[in-house]
């Protein structure tokens, strides 16, 4: 535990059980870094979130005032993993998420749940250069098993009065963690080049803690306003940390042939998030500015 500057006690779910991996999930580690900066007390739980008795015991042991759930199966090296591990994806993303939210409800604890915005795909009314999908518009994408599991879990938990749902999209931070969108792009042989909404965690992690602190509830598109393309991420990677970087683009049709499951491309409307954060004096950066800022931080940290 860190030295406290508030009365909150955060309990963060999202730790690996496999000892060969490092102790934390990626987003879990980013949240812990932020809680260390803000001086809040926190503990990290390695309890499996679908284990009802263990979760209730953990809540009774730690007595958190806030729970943050980063536990979930995103799939490694990418979401195609979920096509071959459907039981594991359902156990973590659906049963686990619903169980954890329900246990927090029973113990009267506010929970922030990291969900996914990969439950939307561009359509005629939402071209990538047009208006983004708002939280009120029903999700329209479940063609990959990962997206399906995230859609079902969001539907299952969204009516609970104690839950804040933050929809991540292509999250990116100032590191080269395998779950970081930058790392994923660098590792692909070929990439598409499409504008998408994204979550620049360097700018958005403080916002997540702020929303939790203020007990916000409901669904939020947790993305920076605007979009960025795959090539823009690669160009900034080349400019700031890896001058030798080169890449090859291919078309969406070609991409479809090498993937097990189709992928989405979507723009999300972040105005509800912007307005809510403004109440607490926090301004989120537009996608382009946030992206550049993340690379400036990465360079300062010495990433190559």
Ligand X SMILES: NC(=O)c1ccc[n+]([C@@H]2O[C@H](COP(=O)([O-])OP(=O)(O)OC[C@H]3O[C@@H](n4cnc5c(N)ncnc54)[C@H](OP(=O)(O)O)[C@@H]3O)[C@@H](O)[C@H]2O)c1
Which residues sit at the interface with ligand X, rule CB under 6 A? 13-18, 25-28, 48-50, 70-74, 91-92, 96, 114, 116, 168, 171, 179
Residues 6+ apart with CB under 8 A from 41: 1, 2, 4, 6, 8, 9, 10
Tokens found for residue 247: 């890449």
Residue with smaller CB distance to ligand X, 49 or 298: 49
Q: Closest separation between CB of residue 281 and ligand X, Å?
A: 26
Ordered alpha helix ranges (H), the chain? 26-38, 52-62, 81-84, 86-90, 97-106, 145-157, 181-187, 201-213, 230-240, 252-258, 271-279, 287-301
The upper half-sphere exposure of residue 208, i.e. CA atoms within 13 Å in the direction of its Cβ, equals 34
Round to whole Å and give the CA distance between 230 and 194: 6
Tokens found for residue 96: 């686990």
SS3 186: helix
Residue 222: closest CA among 288, 184, 268 = 268
Q: Closest separation between CB of residue 7 and ligand X, Å?
A: 27
Round to whole Å and give the CA distance between 159 and 108: 15
Q: Closest separation between CB of residue 13 and ligand X, Å?
A: 6
Residue with smaller CB distance to ligand X, 39 or 262: 262
Residue with smaller CB distance to ligand X, 32 or 116: 116
Residue with smaller CB distance to ligand X, 72 or 225: 72
Maximum Cα–Cα distance for the chain, whole Å?
54
Q: Closest separation between CB of residue 90 and ligand X, Å?
A: 10
Q: Closest separation between CB of residue 124 and ligand X, Å?
A: 25
Q: Closest separation between CB of residue 26 and ligand X, Å?
A: 4
Residue with smaller CB distance to ligand X, 5 or 84: 84
Residue with smaller CB distance to ligand X, 20 or 124: 20
């Amino acid at each position: 535990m860190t030295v406290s500057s508030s009365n909150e006690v955060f309990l963060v779910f999202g730790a690996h059980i496999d000892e060969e991996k490092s102790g934390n999930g990626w987003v879990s580690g980013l949240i812990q870094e932020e809680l260390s900066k803000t001086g809040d007390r926190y503990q990290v739980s390695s309890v499996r979130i679908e284990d009802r008795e263990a979760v209730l015991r953990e809540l009774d042991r730690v007595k958190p005032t806030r729970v943050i759930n980063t536990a979930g199966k995103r799939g490694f090296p990418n979401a195609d993993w979920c096509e071959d591990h459907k039981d594991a994806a359902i156990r973590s993303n659906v049963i686990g998420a619903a169980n954890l939210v329900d246990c927090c409800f029973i113990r009267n604890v506010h929970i922030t749940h990291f969900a996914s915005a990969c439950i939307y795909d561009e359509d005629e009314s939402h071209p990538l250069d047009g208006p983004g999908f708002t939280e009120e518009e029903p999700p329209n994408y479940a063609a990959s098993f990962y997206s399906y599991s995230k859609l079902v879990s969001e539907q299952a938990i969204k009516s609970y009065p104690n839950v804040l749902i933050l929809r991540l999209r292509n999250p990116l931070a100032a590191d080269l963690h395998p779950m970081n969108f930058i790392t994923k792009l660098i590792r692909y042989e070929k990439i598409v080049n499409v504008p998408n909404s994204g979550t620049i965690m360097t700018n958005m992690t403080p916002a997540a803690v702020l929303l939790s602190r203020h007990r916000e509830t409901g669904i939020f598109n947790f993305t920076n306003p605007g979009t960025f393309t795959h090539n823009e991420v690669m160009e900034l990677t080349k400019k700031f940390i890896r001058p030798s970087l080169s890449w090859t683009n291919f078309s969406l049709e070609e991409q479809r042939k090498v993937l097990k499951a189709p992928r989405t491309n979507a723009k999300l409307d972040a105005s509800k998030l912007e307005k809510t954060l403004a109440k607490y004096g926090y301004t989120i950066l537009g996608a382009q500015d946030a992206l550049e800022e993340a690379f400036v931080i990465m360079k300062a940290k010495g990433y190559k």
